[in-house]
Amino acid sequence: MTLQQALSYARDHQPQIRSAVAEVQARVADAAVPRAQWLPQVGATAQLFVGTANNSTASYLGVSELDLPRIGGSRSTTAASAGFAPSASTIVGIGVDQEIFDFGRISAQAAVADAAAAMARAGAAAVDLDVELAVEEAYHSVLAGRQVLRATEDALVRAETHRDYARAGTKSGMRPPIELTRAEADVAQLRVGVVRAEAGLHIGRAALAAATGADAAEVDAAEADAADTAVDSSPGPALAAVLQIASQHNPAIAAAAAKLRAQHAAVAAVTRELLPNVFASASLTGRAGGATPSSGPGDVPYGAGWLPDVVNWHVGLVLQWNLFDGTILARRTAAKARERVAAADLDVARSSVTLATTRGALELDAALQALPALQSAVEAARANQTQAEARFKAGLGNIVELADAEGLLTSSQLQLAVGQFAAARARASLARVIGQAVAHR
């Protein structure tokens, strides 16, 4: 995969991103819950009782789904004349409640849910940036591993050639045996280096597969796109600029700010629970009680309370007001304490992001400044190796001089590969800290 292909594949297949997106969707769904209180509530009930009815008409239980106004009464009795014969009582009904004015209670609850959704979005953005950073690191580690392997294999080929020269020179008596043993030692060491470089390359490919969420055990980094493989050596952005970008786009700051807004909204939501609530109520019921009413025995409804054939309806406007509730006051005090904690967490997040941004900018600057020197070192080492090889083949130099030149070239090439990887990683890490995706760099 090219870098852009790897990033695109990771956005679609990385389980961490799918989990973060699902969390955002869940929080958005939660935010719709308090707003649903503005919808009408429709409920129904059906009840049948048998019991005494002294100074009572149809008996029923109050249920939250339906508002049931009390209607009428049976004959009042004294304790001495109270009867213990049971009477039937039935009721069926349907009702509607509609919120009219809540004094900001619902909007405060919705603000808490919206802030939680914003926290989830910030968390998802952080996960997305973390995945992108992991993909970039793995991608460039594969490229660096390939450079290391290529440099080690080239050094092994040259070492085997020099060993053959040393062997021929030793057989002809023109070179001492020590040059052959030194050349063979160099070949053996480089073969070990090739094995280790191959293992490192496989590890890098496995890391790229894991970072992208691929099913394959390994994913290779394609070098077809020059824009992907070339290390960006352009100067890094100014520190003041990246600090400003980080303060505006870093997901950790965004999440901490959303948490503070959520706690502030929670304080307001708890406080508004002490304010009144106005709602409309309407119901249509059929009820009947078998007890003798105060108007006389002839007014007992048909069915003696077993049939709910007395129809009633009501429409009303209800004001509820919780004038004092110590639990609500205690919850508000606790919410204010958590709000202070959230404010402190926001300051901590800003401080941490500032430190990480400063460190990332300095690391990128150092890595970029080292690249020209590393490139020059490779060119100088290559020229030195060419001269040493020419002297060795002409019989003017020995194997030690050539081995030193070979070691210097191989070391310079490896350091250049590591330096290029360090520069690419530093640039990706700085972009992660300031909250910028690859597409925006």
> pLDDT per residue over 308-367, tens digit each?
887 878 888 888 888 888 888 999 999 999 999 999 999 999 999 999 999 999 999 999
Q: Which of the four pLDDT bands, split at 50, 70 and 90, describes residue 441? A: very low
Q: Which of 257, 252, 269, 258 is nearest to 334 (CA)?
A: 269
3-state class (DSSP) for residue 94: strand
Report field, pTM of the whole predicted structure over 0.75: no
Answer for the pair 74, 82: CB distance below 8 angstroms, yes or no.
no
For 155-169, the pLDDT digits (tens) are 899 888 888 888 888
The CB density around residue 174, as the number of other CB atoms within 10 Å, is 10
For 217-250, the pLDDT digits (tens) are 999 998 755 454 455 556 667 888 888 888 888 8
At 350, the amino acid letter reads: R
> What is the arithmetic mean of pLDDT over 175-201?
89
| DSSP of 205-227 | HHHHHHHHT-SSS--PPP---HH
3-state class (DSSP) for residue 360: helix
Q: Which of 280, 279, 285, 278 is nearest to 70 (CA)?
A: 285
Within 8 A by CB and 6+ apart from 177, the residues are: 170
**Distance of alpha carbon 54 from alpha carbon 73, whole angstroms:** 9
Higher pLDDT: 173 or 87? It is 173
Average pLDDT in the chain: 83
Answer for the pair 61, 47: CB distance below 8 angstroms, yes or no.
yes
Which sign, positive or negative, has the C-alpha torsion 185, 189, 190, 195?
Answer: positive
Length of the chain: 441
Q: Tell me which residue has tokens 């048909």.
A: 302
**Distance of alpha carbon 302 from alpha carbon 311, whole angstroms:** 13
Within 8 A by CB and 6+ apart from 46, the residues are: 91, 92
Which sign, positive or negative, has the C-alpha torsion 360, 363, 368, 374?
Answer: negative
Higher pLDDT: 171 or 47? It is 171
At 93, the amino acid letter reads: G
Within 8 A by CB and 6+ apart from 160, the residues are: 187
For the record, the structure tokens of 102 come out as 């809540």
| Residue 65 in this model has a pLDDT that exceeds 70 | no
Q: Which of the four pLDDT bands, split at 50, 70 and 90, describes residue 55? A: very low
Answer for the pair 165, 398: CB distance below 8 angstroms, yes or no.
no
- Residue 321 φ/ψ, nearest 5 degrees: -150, 115
pLDDT confidence of residue 83: 61
**Distance of alpha carbon 24 from alpha carbon 30, whole angstroms:** 10
| Residue 116 in this model has a pLDDT that exceeds 70 | yes
**Distance of alpha carbon 204 from alpha carbon 152, whole angstroms:** 17
Q: Which of 4-18, 68-82, 197-211, 341-355 has the lowest mean pLDDT?
A: 68-82
pLDDT confidence of residue 235: 64
> What is the arithmetic mean of pLDDT over 37-48?
79
pLDDT confidence of residue 338: 92
Q: What is the distance of C-alpha 208 from the center of its chain?
A: 20
Q: Which of the four pLDDT bands, split at 50, 70 and 90, describes residue 73? A: low
| Residue 78 in this model has a pLDDT that exceeds 80 | no
pLDDT confidence of residue 439: 40
**Distance of alpha carbon 374 from alpha carbon 418, whole angstroms:** 10
Q: Which of 280, 338, 277 is nearest to 105 (CA)?
A: 277
Helix axes 239-249, 326-393, angle to 10 degrees: 140
pLDDT confidence of residue 74: 52
For 284-315, the pLDDT digits (tens) are 888 777 777 666 666 777 777 788 887 878 88
Q: Which of 411, 431, 429, 432 is nearest to 421 (CA)?
A: 429
For the record, the structure tokens of 362 come out as 């300095």
| Residue 415 in this model has a pLDDT that exceeds 70 | yes
